Structure 1
């Protein structure tokens, strides 16, 4: 699973950089593991150049056993007996008149625990959309309510592959609400906004990364299995400068035990809530995944014997709330496969 972990980390940083470029003045929050899980199920049904492009976009080595890696990751994420709540779920929603290959269905079930539920997109598109959205809402404790937007499902829809992930964890060292107060938070060098700032003084792992001129703080959740990493640029250093120099290899090196030292530190952390909504097609195209969205080029023949299948839409929604008690977060990804695609060679705007 280490190979997949490295690939997932590399994919996450590449994804972050593109989303930051697209929204330089906005907050960015997404779940790379949700996006990659949904895409990996599509990859099970892809062949040829389509499969190669998808694997490269996900930073995966096609010679490795990709899907067994995801199977192990799924088991690790959903393991019982933790002091936090973390779970992920996958599901396929297929047109009842479409014949999906048994090898595809069995592999999705074996590696991703994703059962195929038959719906009638041809006769009841809107009801099917609402049904899928209800499933996602249930799996994310109501935090992701409308994954599939209106008109995203129609009579041409053949399959919707969905992933949902939910997390809730309490801080190992919780913040005292009585210390929370309004304070200015620096958005850019020249801009500040008032926020509800939490405060505590305690011992945490801390490092100064001279390479990018930033501080790295680890805030563990109860049980100390999972943590929130906070990368804070030094005074006078733009966040964009740190982002440009960030790679998964560097982040891994910076967070090694010999770099992070237990330090008595005063922590001021904004209390915040974010909800984001992304149409991932243009992002995935820029990562090199082009053919999957094009009729005549998309090869999803390992999914169904029905010809001319391709992706029409890939949506991702996310939610996160950070407060004195801890963190609650959720995300969902939906990949829509249709029987006909537009003939465009570039991204749709």
Structure 2
């Protein structure tokens, strides 16, 4: 799974650039593993040159192993990664990977009912956090296939931040701008590393059980006109090559 991990990290950084669209003033929140697993499902139906472009060695078996590892018994977090295809019964599917299922629906005559059904499935698999994913008009009588990927995560940090220690602080947006925000505080020991090539610090915040962690990358200085993260991410991409 090492190759999958490296490839997914590279993909997540490239995707970040596309999603942000160069706008560094807004927050971006997304799940690379969720999106890449959905695209990997699409690649199962690709043939010829398209398949050559989308397939990598053992990518599907690697995803299957990863999903099993994330959902192994005894973990102390909730992580739901669900995939489902909605389409005609003539479509071929691979249920072996990604825990995916194909549901046959009548897009031609009952597109609105199909849309409502899909939204209910997403809501159920995200603990009711994501509602009305597909707005009215997004599914119609010409729709042949809908690939839905839903992810939900809930975990507790191994070392919680005391609520009473939260206080106001100034968060740097760029070289000249700051924004007042609520900042959490605690004194404890955490894994901390310094990456000279990125001129950044990396802090690890493990979740209970230490199976998963949150990584925070903090540039030591803002060396460009944005947040400083753009240069750090570019160097990080080069380190992966």
Same fold, TM-score > 0.5, yes or no: yes
Unaligned runs of 5+ in 1: 56-60, 252-349
In the alignment, what sits opposite 2:110?
124
Asked if structure 1 preserves the Cα contact closer than 8 Å seen for 2:174 and 2:222, the reply is no
Within 2, Cα distance between the matches of 1:23 and 1:126? 35
Within 2, Cα distance between the matches of 1:37 and 1:113? 11
Asked if structure 2 preserves the Cα contact closer than 8 Å seen for 1:20 and 1:28, the reply is yes
C-alpha distance after superposition, 1:187-215 (max 9, x if no partner): 11111111111100100111222222211
Quick check: 1:99 aligned with 2:85? Answer: no
In the alignment, what sits opposite 1:231?
217
**Which range moves more in the overlay, 114-123 or 197-206?**
114-123
Name the count of aligned residue pairs: 237
Within 1, Cα distance between the matches of 2:231 and 2:199? 9
In the alignment, what sits opposite 1:282?
none
C-alpha distance after superposition, 1:72-106 (max 9, x if no partner): 112112222101111211111113xx522xxx32x
In the alignment, what sits opposite 1:83?
76
2:65 to 50, 69, 72: 72
Q: CA RMSD in A?
A: 1.9
The alignment's TM-score, normalised by the length of structure 2, stands at 0.91
Asked if structure 1 preserves the Cα contact closer than 8 Å seen for 2:6 and 2:240, the reply is no
In the alignment, what sits opposite 1:25?
25
Within 2, Cα distance between the matches of 1:139 and 1:127? 19
Asked if structure 2 preserves the Cα contact closer than 8 Å seen for 1:204 and 1:219, the reply is yes
Asked if structure 1 preserves the Cα contact closer than 8 Å seen for 2:163 and 2:184, the reply is yes
Within 2, Cα distance between the matches of 1:188 and 1:146? 35
1:211 to 167, 175, 197: 197
**Which range moves more in the overlay, 202-211 or 8-17?**
8-17
Name the structure with the higher strand share. 1
The alignment's TM-score, normalised by the length of structure 1, stands at 0.64
In the alignment, what sits opposite 1:139?
125
